[in-house]
Structure 1
Amino acid sequence: MPRLVDHEVRRRQITDAVRRVIVSGGLEAVTFQTVAAEAEISVRLVQYYFGTKKDFLLATHRSVMEDAGARFMQRWTALGPDAAPREAIRAVLTELLPLDDQRREETLVLGAFGWAAIAGQGITAEETFAAPRALVALVADQLRRVQRPDVVAPNNPELDAQLIGMAIGGLAQGMLQGYSTAEAAVGLVDHLLDRVLGTTTSVQAAQGIPNPLTI
């Protein structure tokens, strides 16, 4: 009796192979042949599931975003419905840093896609913008929940969210290059949130809440 094939599992097998090829050789190393060899299947099978190279590249990009999104939701659920905006934003941002092997692979793959869009290698920037736009929207939504009576200038959650998104992308790439350690990177995330949201003690003071450490 012929063995049944789970097509989603097979597609994931292929996109996982694409990731590994990108990590080891960059986007330019990705071909039907190299992906088939990495996945240990035939070229014809890769072509059956993905008719063009661009098809499996975009599917790979989506798989990275879906994996990261699943982790976000796990962290979000663990925080609970009463999580403070700073806590929620910090949880999301640290998931974007290459703090373990999986996140390092994802950062390398996304960086390769970003460079491909810049260099005109068959992937347009617009085709990879859904994830960063979703991140900015999520962060901006959390920032709108924050009251900053200690800040005289008007708040602009959308611009602050864009700044945070750009900063975390640059910080992740800097970690790959060895410019920043994991500990330093997490510290910079906290410093950035201090600059945007204010420190806990400064917000408490502005609202007239006593600091328990000074009582």
Structure 2
Amino acid sequence: MPRLVDHEQRRREITTAARRVIAAGGLEAATFQSVAAEAGISVRLIQYYFGAKRELLLATHLAVVVDSGERFAARVGVLGADASPREVIEAVSLALLPLDDVSHADALVLAAYHAAALSNSEFIKPEDTHGAPLYLVNLFTEQLRRNRKPGKAFDTAQLDAQLIVFSLGSITQGVLIGSHTREQVVELIRHLLDRMLGDC
């Protein structure tokens, strides 16, 4: 009796191999041939599941984003329903920073996509990378508004949320290039949140 193929699992195996290739050599290294060799499968099988390189790269990017979301959702879940906005934002931020080998590799992959978007790559467009930061801005904005007094003349929650997200990107870059240690960036993000949020 022929073995049934779990197509989602096979797609996951391929994007996982692509992540390893990109983390090691950048987006340019992620050819069908290199990913097939990393996954231990044929190029034809990758073509069957993804058709073209852009589809493979988009699926790989999505896999990284989904895994990152699951990491911070797990951290927030541990906090419980009564967590303060500060606790939620810190938990999400620390889950996204490259503080262990897995998140460090994912940060390298996302940095490769960002570089491709900046360089007018034929495979990755700037708008392909906008979704995750926008989601974080909306999430942080919602948290910041929870404990703020209504009726203020100017609501800065969204601006503050954007500053946190942009800071996370810069802090991540600092870890990736070796200018800051993992311990230093934990202290840095907590200092940032102290200044912006206090005990809210």
TM-score band w.r.t. shorter chain = over 0.9
1:145 is aligned to: 146
Q: Which amino acid aligns with 1:164?
A: I
Give the whole-Å Cα distance in 2 for the aligned partners of 1:134 and 1:86.
Answer: 17
Give the whole-Å Cα distance in 1 for the aligned partners of 2:186 and 2:91.
Answer: 11
Q: What TM-score results when the alignment is normalised by the length of structure 2?
A: 0.95
TM-aligned CA distance change 1:153 to 1:184, over 3 Å = farther
Q: 1:96 touches 1:103 (CA, 8 Å); kept in 2?
A: yes
Give the whole-Å Cα distance in 2 for the aligned partners of 1:147 and 1:127.
Answer: 33
Q: 2:73 touches 2:92 (CA, 8 Å); kept in 1?
A: no
Deviations 1:100-135 (A, max 9, x none): 111001100000000000001121111111111000
Q: 1:146 touches 1:197 (CA, 8 Å); kept in 2?
A: no
Name the % identity. 56
Q: Which amino acid aligns with 1:123?
A: I
1:183 is aligned to: 183
Give the whole-Å Cα distance in 2 for the aligned partners of 1:146 and 1:156.
Answer: 13
1:39 is aligned to: 39
1:159 is aligned to: 159
1:129 is aligned to: 130
Give the whole-Å Cα distance in 2 for the aligned partners of 1:136 and 1:89.
Answer: 11
Structure 2, unaligned stretches of length 5 or more?
Answer: none
Q: 1:104 touches 1:176 (CA, 8 Å); kept in 2?
A: yes
Q: Bigger relative contact order, structure 1 or 2, given CA contacts below 8 A and separation 6+?
A: 2
1:103 is aligned to: 103
Q: What TM-score results when the alignment is normalised by the length of structure 1?
A: 0.88
Give the whole-Å Cα distance in 1 for the aligned partners of 2:24 and 2:70.
Answer: 25
Q: Which amino acid aligns with 1:23?
A: A
Aligned 1:17-56 pairs, distance under 5 A: 17-56=17-56
Structure 1, unaligned stretches of length 5 or more?
Answer: 204-215
Give the whole-Å Cα distance in 2 for the aligned partners of 1:19 and 1:85.
Answer: 32
Q: 2:72 touches 2:96 (CA, 8 Å); kept in 1?
A: no
Give the whole-Å Cα distance in 2 for the aligned partners of 1:29 and 1:169.
Answer: 23
Aligned residues: 197
TM-aligned CA distance change 1:184 to 1:153, over 3 Å = farther
Give the whole-Å Cα distance in 2 for the aligned partners of 1:116 and 1:146.
Answer: 39
Give the whole-Å Cα distance in 2 for the aligned partners of 1:173 and 1:153.
Answer: 36
Give the whole-Å Cα distance in 1 for the aligned partners of 2:74 and 2:3.
Answer: 34
